[in-house]
Amino acid sequence: MIGIRADMDALWQQVDGNYKANHSCGHDAHMAMVLGLLWKVEQAPELSEKIALKFIFQPAEEKGAGALKMVEKGAVDNVDYLYGIHLRPKQEMKMGDASPVIQHGAVRMYDVEIKGKDAHGARPHLNHNAIELGSQIVQLLAKIHVDPTIPHSIKMTRFHAGGKNVNIIPGSASFSLDLRAQTNEVMGEIEEQVQRIFESLRNLYPVIVEVTHIDSIAAAMVNTEAIDIMSMAIKRALGGNHLHPPLITPGGDDFHFYTLKRPSLKATMIGLGCNLEPGLHHPSMTFNHEALTNGIEILYQAVLATYQYGADAEKAEEN
C-alpha cells in the first residue's frame, strides 16, 4: 500500500492588519497537488486497479499533533510506502527542480510561566522581578553546549510581564522557547539542559517555573529505498538535470512522526522548487503556481516507480 500525505491546516497570522487563517506555509498547494494526483490516477483505470493507494489529508501539522493522531487512529497501519511534498523557498531551490528528501530537524516549542508575587517599585527587596529572572534564563540558554557539528538553536521567542502600572515590579511572567536540532538525539540533550535551568531557578528563588505546554516535532528518519524511488520519479518527471541533492533544513514537519512511530514505513518528503518568496510563514508568501503540475507529475511517477520496484522485487524472489 502506498500512502500519499497532504497537510491541510493554515497559520493564524496578521495579514494587511487583520488576523486570519493564512496558507503561508503552502499547505493549500500540497492539498492541490495530492488532489491532482488522485484525479490523474482516476483517469487511468488500468493503473488504479493494480495499485493500492491511500490519500491521507492530515490536520494540525503546524501544532505538531496531526501525524501522531493519524497514527493513533490507524491511518498508516496498512501502508508500506509513505510520500509527502512541501514547497521550498527560492533561496533553497530554483523553480523546476526537486529534491527526493527533506531532512527536517527536531523542534520543541515550550510555553512556560513564572509564578511569583508583585511588589511596589520602591520595595524591590520584597519580591523577585520576573523580568530579571527572564533575563537570567536567556543568559543560561546561551550557555547550553551540545555537539557543535550538529546544527541547533536555542532561543526565547516571546516574553510578557507586567501591566499598565510602571510602579509595580512584576513577580509573574510568561514566555516561550523555540528549540531546534538536526537530530532527535541532540534535541534530547538540549531539553535535558533546559529542564536543569528551570530546576536551578526553582531552587534559587521562591518562585514557580511551570511548563504549561510543549509542541514537539521529530527530526527526519531517512529511508534510502524511498529516496531512491523518489529520485527516479523526479528524473522521469522533470529530467535528470532537475534532480536536486537532499535538502537539510532546521525547519520541522510532523510528517516524521509517522516513521518514528512506525519504523517499518519507507517514507520520504519531496522538496519542490517553486520560486517561493519572501519565505515560508511570511504573511505575503507567494510562489509560481506552475510548480503544482511538476509536483503532481512527480507524485504520479513516484507511484509508478514504487509499483515497479515492488514488482521487480517479487520477480527477484521468485528467481
Residue of 130, 131, 120 lying closest to 206 (CA atoms): 130
Phi-psi domain of 16 (left: phi exceeds 0; alpha: psi -120 through 50; beta: other): left
What is the pLDDT, as a whole number, of residue 296? 98
Please name the amino acid found at residue 292: L
Instruction: Provide the 8-state DSSP code for 96.
Output: T
Q: What angle do CA 79, 85, 89 make, to 5 degrees?
A: 160
In sequence order, the β-bridge partners of residue 216 are 108
Question: Does residue 211 sit in helix, strand or coil?
Answer: strand
pTM, two decimals, is 0.85
Please state, in angstroms and as integers, the Cα–Cα distance from residue 89 to each residue in 31, 105, 208, 248, following that order.
18, 17, 41, 13
What is the pLDDT, as a whole number, of residue 111? 98
What is the pLDDT, as a whole number, of residue 46? 77
What is the pLDDT, as a whole number, of residue 44? 85
The answer to whether 169 and 119 have CB atoms below 8 angstroms apart is yes
How far from the centroid of its chain's Cα atoms is residue 181's Cα? 12
Residue of 68, 48, 56, 65 lying closest to 3 (CA atoms): 56
Dihedral (C-alpha) 110, 115, 121, 123: value to the nearest 10 degrees?
A: -130
Q: Which three cell numbers stand for residue 178?
A: 523555540
How far apart (Å, rounded) are the C-alpha atoms in residues 87 and 272?
A: 5
237-240 LR contacts (CB < 8 Å, sep 24+): 237/98, 237/294, 237/297, 237/298, 237/300, 237/301, 238/96, 238/97, 238/98, 238/294, 238/297, 238/298
Half-sphere exposure of 253 (CA within 13 A, CB side): 31
Residues contacting 1, CB < 8 A, separation 6+: 52, 53, 54, 78, 79, 80, 81
In angstroms, what is the C-alpha Rg of the chain?
23
The answer to whether 115 and 107 have CB atoms below 8 angstroms apart is no
How far apart (Å, rounded) are the C-alpha atoms in residues 299 and 38?
A: 10
What is the pLDDT, as a whole number, of residue 305? 95
What is the pLDDT, as a whole number, of residue 315? 53
How far apart (Å, rounded) are the C-alpha atoms in residues 58 and 84?
A: 11
Mean pLDDT by 10 residues, the chain (319 residues): 97 94 97 97 83 95 93 97 98 97 95 97 96 98 97 97 96 97 96 98 96 93 96 98 95 93 97 98 97 98 89 55
| 309 exposure class (CB count in 10 Å sphere: 0-12, 13-18, 19+) | middle
